[in-house]
Amino acid sequence: MATTTSLKISADVEPRQAPWVRWLDLSDRSLAILLLAPAALLLALIIVYPVCRLAYTSFFSLSLTSGLPAEFVGLENYQLMIEDPVFWETTWNTVLITLITVPGALVVGLGLALMANLPFRTQWPVRLSLLIPWALPLSFAGLIFAWFFHSEYGVVNDVLNRVGLPGVIWFNSPNWAFAAICLTIIWKTSSFMALIILAGLQTIPRSLYEAADVDGAGRVRQFFEITLPLLKPSIVVALIFRTITSLQTFDIPYMMTGGGPGTSTATLAMYIHQNTVSFLDLGYGSALAVVMFALSMCVTAVYLRMIRTKE
């Protein structure tokens, strides 16, 4: 509405549009399309084309080590995938990591955000310590924690020994290795959650808490009745980001265990990487990647649904 008015006004008053817009006699709709075109082109180039190419390659048998050209095999790669126990194991590992670390990071992040929101004399050390885990590159975090959990030279076993508990050979056992990886991921991602939740916390007016105090509500009651409900939008946003990226977990297990012992800590992203970069089996790797893409799209769709119904 406003834009139509301004067009009418511009005919009478000084023209505000760029000369080329007026010259081309563009309507608002055409102008919008034209301005969006570069971004859409970029998106198509970076996302749509590679994904389509990926789906296309997944129907071929293409292995760079065979020296043979690509051969159309239809759904054979997908059939191999269904029969591949490593595929199921890595997918399950990925789902398990998501199920453990997303709620885990949420709880820890919520706690951190609440603590960071307390009235400190100087805010910046708290904010900084929240920021550092998130700012650290994933592979650095993986390497650091691999050393922390080293059975001989690691800090974790050292602390355990000092407290009187026996040290654990973390990377000898699938369960302990998995636990170490989940702990690292929770450490890394809880700061991200905390930052988002902290932003949400700061929008809650203090007057609500003061009113609750007057009414005689305890701190716990205030938390559940005031804080949590008003934090819901931030929590949902944080969960969406975290879940989608959690399906793509690669860096931390790769740096910490390389998927070992055996394939017990390998994730789907690691299996895709192994098939494409190490084995150079591009056909099979593409099929795996298509499945991961489909999984991510499903999760995204579910979350979008959830947001839409809220509004």
Partner 1 sequence: MNRNIRAAALACATIFSLAAPALADTELKIYISSQHQPNVWRKALDQYEAKTPGVKVTIETGGNTSEAQAQYLNTVMSAKDPSLDVLILDVIRPAQFAAAGWTSDVEGKDLSTYLPAYAEANTVNGKTVALPAFADAQFLYYRKDLLDKYGIQPPKSWDELKTAAKTITDGEKNPDLQGLSFQGKAIEGAVCTFLLPYWSQGKALTANGRLSFDHDAAVKSLALWKSFADEGVAKKNIAEVATDDTRKEFQAGNVVFAVNWSYAWAQSQGPESAVAGKVGVARLPAMAGGVPATCLGGWEWGVSAFSAHQDEAKKLVAYLSSPEVSKFMAINASLLPTYADLYKDGDVTKAAPWFAEALQVVETAKPRPVTPRYNEVSETIRTTVNAVLAGVSTPEEGASQIESRLKRILR
Q: What is the distance, to the nearest Å, from the Cα of residue 12 to the centroid of all Cα atoms in its chain?
A: 52
**CB nearer partner 1, residue 97 or residue 177:** 177
User: Which residues contact partner 1 by CB under 8 A?
Assistant: 64-67, 150-152, 169, 171-174, 258-264, 274, 277-280
Minimum CB–partner distance for residue 80 and partner 1 (Å)? 10
**CB nearer partner 1, residue 98 or residue 251:** 251
**CB nearer partner 1, residue 154 or residue 200:** 154
Minimum CB–partner distance for residue 172 and partner 1 (Å)? 4
Minimum CB–partner distance for residue 205 and partner 1 (Å)? 53
H-assigned helices in the chain:
2-12, 19-24, 28-43, 49-57, 76-82, 85-116, 124-135, 138-148, 155-163, 174-201, 206-215, 219-222, 228-246, 251-256, 268-273, 282-310
Minimum CB–partner distance for residue 5 and partner 1 (Å)? 54
**CB nearer partner 1, residue 194 or residue 282:** 282
Minimum CB–partner distance for residue 281 and partner 1 (Å)? 8
The Cα 238–Cα 235 span in angstroms is: 5
The Cα 138–Cα 147 span in angstroms is: 14
User: Who contacts 126 (Cβ-Cβ below 8 Å, separation ≥6)?
Assistant: 115, 116, 120
Tracing tokens 């355990």 back to the chain, one arrives at: 160
**CB nearer partner 1, residue 133 or residue 260:** 260
Tracing tokens 């699938």 back to the chain, one arrives at: 174
